[in-house]
């Protein structure tokens, strides 16, 4: 059981297929003159390609479940930390408050005495309430919208974001994909989403969505080149695009008892990367396409129904994957003493995410011309300097 794939292959071979195939074989000759295709399905499942497909299905589903669970936790953290920054408590809805809600609905008068109501919950049920709200929303297509692009725009954004979840490994054991070009695939999947944003913004036939989409494209031009250049420094040092090789390389060089993770020799690259990944995942201070104070809700103004909920979830997925890439590239990935690798990886990822969230609720948004100036005049030269430092580092060590 060295990896998730091996485990799920064993699970299919030892449990799933032996339990399923008798059912299918029983159905095969249930009506004697005819034979049922269920038998062919069972024979395919017992063959090696069939087991392979089943195992990969389980691996991808496990990766998606881990990712979506983390997205729920990130949404919860965002609300609680935002509330603490604003000196309030945030969502408190939990199993403890269900009794009070039930009393309320039954019409009995709740006792609001001094310290009689107990708010012992931490508010984790608020996510469930949000999910129910998104399920109940009506799906509206604006009358003069371009129906085709209005429909496929959010689909492009959501699907390319969900694809990201299976591409980044948690550790060599918990990994759905270990492509040798791993992080390049991640960046390619990241770069598809602005098409969805821009086409949705245009297709809604609304000036606010159009401005949001335009800002997304302007932002893309500002951050894309410094982002890839700052990653190029790490790729150069590791000599590979694979997350496994990059993390292994960061454990090779030790100085005074501390491992030389890429954040130490390439601190400039880390700064540039963090700024650019913030712009990539469209969080404040770079959430220009969805500036809810200026444009009503940005490019998502006209989206309704569960599609809106999935769009928000996709934005959090992008934030989570951005933090994962930062951890793999600069913070040593899953390397760390005592604890298992997955725990170390999650600790580092959540550290970066808490930093993102605190940044979101404490700094103002920047203007479109400022982000272009920042991208082309500051980040691009800095990332080139970082690339030179990386080349020097490779030459010295």
Partner 1 sequence: MDLVLIVFWLLALSILTAAWAVVSGSDIVHSVVWLATVFLLTAGIFILAGAEFLAIIQVLVYVGAVSVVILFGIMLTRRTLPGGDYD
Residue numbers of the site for partner 1 (CB under 8 A)? 144-146, 148-149, 152, 179, 181, 184-185, 187-189, 191-192, 194-195, 197-199, 202-203, 205, 210, 214, 216-218, 220-221, 224, 228
Distance of CA 64 to the CA centre of its chain: 10
Closest distance of CB 217 from partner 1, Å: 4
Angle, CA 166 vertex, CA 47 and CA 180 arms, to 5°:
80
Closest distance of CB 216 from partner 1, Å: 8
Helix H or strand E segment including 336 = none
- What are the backbone dihedrals phi and psi of residue 153, each rounded to the nearest 5 degrees, phi first? -60, -55
Query: For residue 340, is the peptide bond before it cis, meaning its omega torsion is within 30 degrees of 0?
Result: no
Residue 222 vs 291, nearer CB to partner 1: 222
Question: Cα(372)–Cα(229) distance, rounded to whole angstroms?
Answer: 17
Residue 85 vs 236, nearer CB to partner 1: 236
- What are the backbone dihedrals phi and psi of residue 350, each rounded to the nearest 5 degrees, phi first? -70, -30
Residue 176 vs 349, nearer CB to partner 1: 176
Closest distance of CB 369 from partner 1, Å: 16
Closest distance of CB 202 from partner 1, Å: 6
Residue 66 vs 165, nearer CB to partner 1: 165
Closest distance of CB 341 from partner 1, Å: 26
- Please tell me whether residue 102 adopts helix, strand or coil conformation: helix
Question: Cα(348)–Cα(333) distance, rounded to whole angstroms?
Answer: 8
Closest distance of CB 190 from partner 1, Å: 9
Residue 203 vs 349, nearer CB to partner 1: 203
Query: For residue 285, is the peptide bond before it cis, meaning its omega torsion is within 30 degrees of 0?
Result: yes
Quick one: tokens of 203? 């297709």
Residue 187 vs 237, nearer CB to partner 1: 187
Cβ contacts of 344 within 8 Å, gap of 6 or more: 334, 335, 336
Closest distance of CB 115 from partner 1, Å: 56
Closest distance of CB 228 from partner 1, Å: 8
DSSP at 309? H
Torsion of the alpha carbons at 371, 375, 378 and 379, rounded to the nearest 10: 130
> Rounded to the nearest 10 degrees, what angle do helices 147-165 and 306-330 cross at?
40
Residue 115 vs 144, nearer CB to partner 1: 144
Residue 224 vs 287, nearer CB to partner 1: 224
Helix H or strand E segment including 30 = none
Closest distance of CB 166 from partner 1, Å: 16
- If one counts every other C-beta atom within 10 angstroms of the C-beta of residue 118, the result is 10
Question: Which of these, 109, 80, 78, lies nearest to 92 by C-alpha position?
Answer: 80
DSSP at 298? G
Q: In which residue are the tokens 């200026």 written?
A: 294
Residue 175 vs 203, nearer CB to partner 1: 203
């Amino acid at each position: 059981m060295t990896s998730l794939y091996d485990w799920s292959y064993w699970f299919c071979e030892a449990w799933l297929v032996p339990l399923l195939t008798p059912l299918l074989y029983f159905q095969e000759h249930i009506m004697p003159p005819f034979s049922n295709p269920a038998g062919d399905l069972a024979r395919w499942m017992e063959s090696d390609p069939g087991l392979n497909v089943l195992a990969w299905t389980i691996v991808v589903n496990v990766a998606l479940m881990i990712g979506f669970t983390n997205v729920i936790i990130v949404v919860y953290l965002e609300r609680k930390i935002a509330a603490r920054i604003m000196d309030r408590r945030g969502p408190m809805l939990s199993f403890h408050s269900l009794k009070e809600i039930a009393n309320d609905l039954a019409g009995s008068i709740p006792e609001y005495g001094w310290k009689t109501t107990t708010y012992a919950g931490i508010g984790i049920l608020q996510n469930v309430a949000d999910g129910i709200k998104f399920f109940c929303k009506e799906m509206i297509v604006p009358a003069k919208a371009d129906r085709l692009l209005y429909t496929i725009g959010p689909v492009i954004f959501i699907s390319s974001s969900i694809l990201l979840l299976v591409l980044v490994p948690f550790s060599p054991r918990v990994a759905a994909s270990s492509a040798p070009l791993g992080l390049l695939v991640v960046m390619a999947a990241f770069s598809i989403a602005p098409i969805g944003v821009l086409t949705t913004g245009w297709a809604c036939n609304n000036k606010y969505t159009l401005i949001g989409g335009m800002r997304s494209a302007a932002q893309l031009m500002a951050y894309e080149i410094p982002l890839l250049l700052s990653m190029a420094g790490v790729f150069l040092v590791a000599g590979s695009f694979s997350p496994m090789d990059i993390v292994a390389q960061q454990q090779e060089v030790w100085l005074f008892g501390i491992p030389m993770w890429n954040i130490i020799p390439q601190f400039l690259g880390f700064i540039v990367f963090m700024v650019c990944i913030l712009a990539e995942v469209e969080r404040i201070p770079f959430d220009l396409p969805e500036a809810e104070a200026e444009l009503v809700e940005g490019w998502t103004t006209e989206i309704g129904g569960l599609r809106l909920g999935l769009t928000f979830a996709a934005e959090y997925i992008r934030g989570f994957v951005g933090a994962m890439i930062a951890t793999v590239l600069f913070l040593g990935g899953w390397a760390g003493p005592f604890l298992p690798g997955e725990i170390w990886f999650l600790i580092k990822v959540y550290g970066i995410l808490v930093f993102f969230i605190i940044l979101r609720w404490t700094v103002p948004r920047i203007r479109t011309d400022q982000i272009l100036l920042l991208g082309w005049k500051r980040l691009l030269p800095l990332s080139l300097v970082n690339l030179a430092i990386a080349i020097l580092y490779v030459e010295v060590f």
